Amino acid sequence: MNKPSMNPLSANALCFGSDLPAAGVPCHVDISSVGLSIQFSDLPRETVPFTALAVEAGGFDHDQLVVKWASNGVGRTVYLKEPALIVSFRQFVPPELMADLERTAVSVRRARQRRRTFLLVAVGSVLALVLALWLGFDALVRMAVARIPVEWEQAIGESARRELLAGQTVVTEGPAVAAVQEITKRLTDQIEENPYRFKVTVVQSDIVNAFALPGGYVVVFTGLLKKAESPEEVAGVLGHELNHVLLRHGLERIVKTLGLVAVVAIFVGDQSGLIGLAKRLGIELVTLKFGREQETEADLSGLHLLHRAKISSDGMIRFFERLSESDKLQVEMLSTHPMSAARAERLKAEAASLPGQTPEPFGFDWIKVQESLGHWEAGTL
Amino acid sequence: MKSEILYPGAFPMVRVDLASGECVKAESGAMVAAAPTIDVESRIEGGLLGALSRKVLTGEKFFFQTLRATRGAGEVLLAPTVPGDIVILELDGVNEYLVQKDGFLAGAEGVKIESRMQSLSRGLLGGEGFFILRISGRGQLILNSFGAVHKLELKPDQEYVVDNSHLVAWTATTSYNIEKAAAGWIASFTSGEGFVCRFRGPGVVYIQSRNPGGFGAWIRQFIPVSQ
């Protein structure tokens, strides 16, 4: 028997057989009342009566009509996927083959139904998951964070700290370091059941900031010390930062970010993104942004810590007031930090609710501390 | 459009010759070099929604690049990211291929690329995720694999068992079921195979001689943990 070859111009189906290429040979199929006629480009048209045909559903999506017969003793299989062809097949098929065709149609419908149901279930589950995450994610994150041992947290924080301090000038001694240590000690002495050994590092930089990494690593930039009007302002910022550590806010952010990516990665079947993310963790930590709720929580707990340490909360409030003058242009809705003015107001209200006390001064001379850092720059932030 | 595989083996490249006005769609980042007559257009295949669904669902790149011979005929050199074979398939408007998400390298202008959702068992256990690419239309389709590519030819009703992470592409006339590699659950996993795909012909299945996930796991042990 001659082997048929392709006729790509008019091909509307693929023909298979043990003597044909495995990928199938394109062919042109017509259905008439006589039966199925099939034509390859270089062979005469062959018509197979319906009585010689057997039908079933097939293909990857179970959506193609598979027609089988024997031609000169060789099995032939044709895959029809064009809807028009399938419709005309149904139209001309004799009653004796109708039962088979109906069975095939039922199985195709069932497969489509299954796919549709699966799609609905999948979309529904994703929506339900999103909703569940939306509503219960914070609680889940807290539960997960509570199970992370302090040693792990320290390892993460230590690696992030090393990454951050690479290339920076660390101030290791002098009045500024002594002052920051004294402020930190006053505050940390008042923390009950403190699982952390806080390590404060002073970094030579004009950045007016301080931040806390998981595990108790606090970094203070000399810019903050230069611009602070009083040690109480620095104590306010430190009180706030220490509470980010104590409340494990950094870990919460990491777990949150990783958790979401993990869910997506598992669904999409691509875990490589997750590994990449875990690797970038150290760098991510440095640029970590806390949520607004976390900032407010750290503000209030920081204020309470100042009160317990007998440090005037006026400095902390004053710091935010001065900060608010510099961020008048920001739009509150777009910022994760609550606006400084609102923070100052909230702190004032909270401070008023605390029992009155006489603050105890620090043992160092603030002006000398600032002089040790270079020229006097206190004032606007 | 005419294509030729250069340096077949581990580090091949494809040379695509374009007639004036012709174009080739390629995975973004696949272009190595091109004649000065070729313009690179970044196009969102299948519209923004189609591209978004492909990006989100299959993890494929959001944009394909279209390399068009706007200023006269010219050639383009394309290469995949991973080391491994390249295969060139001819789509005639009747045949269709299902391609796992990293397998697509380039295609002629008439080649149509869609995301396709798989069934629950195939999506969860098949190893390609829930979404794969369904590629149809007319013209050349260029696929890449990790390692050497091997073609399995299945006659009608012939079956073949393939480890799911070695799949590259298969024709839409084949179907497959996911099953355990061994009779028992424990044996399936201790054998290192886990789940396998039982393909049933007729059709063609392209498999790759290396498992990207397995290679990743192996190489991970040599990557120093950051200090």
pLDDT given for residue B148 in this prediction: 95
Whether ipTM > 0.85 holds is no
Say if residue A308 is in the same domain as residue A252. yes
Provide the CATH number for the domain around residue B141: 3.60.160.10
- Note whether residue B225 is domain-resident: no
A64 touches chain B (CB under 8 A): yes
Say if residue A256 is in the same domain as residue A354. yes
Q: Of B80 and A289, which is predicted with more confidence? A: B80
Q: What digits encode the pLDDT tens for the residues B37-54?
A: 999 876 555 555 555 555
Residue of A nearest to B129 (CA): A269
- Note whether residue A304 is domain-resident: yes
Quote the tokens at residue B2: 């005419």
Point out the residue among A12, A26, A59 whose CB comes nearest to the CB of B173.
A59
- Note whether residue B74 is domain-resident: yes
Say if residue A266 is in the same domain as residue A351. yes
- Note whether residue B103 is domain-resident: yes
Say if residue A105 is in the same domain as residue A154. no
Say if residue A84 is in the same domain as residue A230. no
- Note whether residue A133 is domain-resident: no
Q: Is the pLDDT of residue A69 over 80?
A: yes
Please name the residue that has the structure tokens 């980042």.
B29
Say if residue A155 is in the same domain as residue A45. no
- Note whether residue A297 is domain-resident: yes
Residue of A nearest to B117 (CA): A119
- Is there a contact between B95 and A26 if contact means CB atoms under 8 Å apart? yes
Q: What mean pLDDT is predicted for residues A344-355?
A: 87
Q: What digits encode the pLDDT tens for the residues A72-114?
A: 888 999 999 888 888 888 889 888 888 888 888 888 788 788 8
Say if residue A220 is in the same domain as residue A368. yes
Q: Residue A279 — pLDDT band, cuts 50, 70, 90?
A: very low
Supply angle C-alpha B22, B28, B34, rounded to 5: 50
pLDDT given for residue B101 in this prediction: 78
Considering only the C-alpha atoms of chain A, give the largest distance between any 2 of them, rounded to a whole number of Å: 109
The range of the structural domain enclosing residue B38 comes to: 2-220
Q: What mean pLDDT is predicted for residues A259-273?
A: 56
Q: What mean pLDDT is predicted for residues A128-145?
A: 79
Q: What mean pLDDT is predicted for residues A144-151?
A: 79
Query: How near does any CA of chain A get to the CA of B226, in Å?
Result: 8
Query: In chain A, which residues have their Cβ closer than 8 Å to the Cβ of B176?
Result: 60
A66 contacts A58 by C-beta, under 8 angstroms:
yes
Q: Residue B196 — pLDDT band, cuts 50, 70, 90?
A: confident
- Note whether residue B227 is domain-resident: no
d(CA A201, CA B28): 45
- Note whether residue A357 is domain-resident: yes
- Note whether residue A259 is domain-resident: yes
pLDDT given for residue A213 in this prediction: 83
- Is there a contact between B155 and A118 if contact means CB atoms under 8 Å apart? no
Query: How many folded domains does chain B comprise?
Result: 1
- Note whether residue A115 is domain-resident: no
d(CA A260, CA B188): 31
Residue of B nearest to A163 (CA): B227
Q: How far apart are the first and last CA of chain A?
A: 92
Query: In chain A, which residues have their Cβ closer than 8 Å to the Cβ of B202?
Result: 16, 22, 24, 77, 79
Residue of A nearest to B201 (CA): A22
pLDDT given for residue A262 in this prediction: 62
The range of the structural domain enclosing residue A101 comes to: 13-110
Provide the CATH number for the domain around residue A58: 2.30.29
- Note whether residue B197 is domain-resident: yes
pLDDT given for residue B209 in this prediction: 95
Say if residue A208 is in the same domain as residue A102. no
Say if residue A106 is in the same domain as residue A157. no
Q: Is the pLDDT of residue A180 over 80?
A: yes
Say if residue A102 is in the same domain as residue A156. no
Q: Is the pLDDT of residue A333 over 50?
A: no
Query: How many folded domains does chain A comprise?
Result: 2
Say if residue A234 is in the same domain as residue A90. no
Say if residue A242 is in the same domain as residue A355. yes
| Selection from A202, A173, A210, A226 nearest residue A371 by Cα | A226
Q: What digits encode the pLDDT tens for the residues B163-185?
A: 888 999 999 999 888 887 776 76
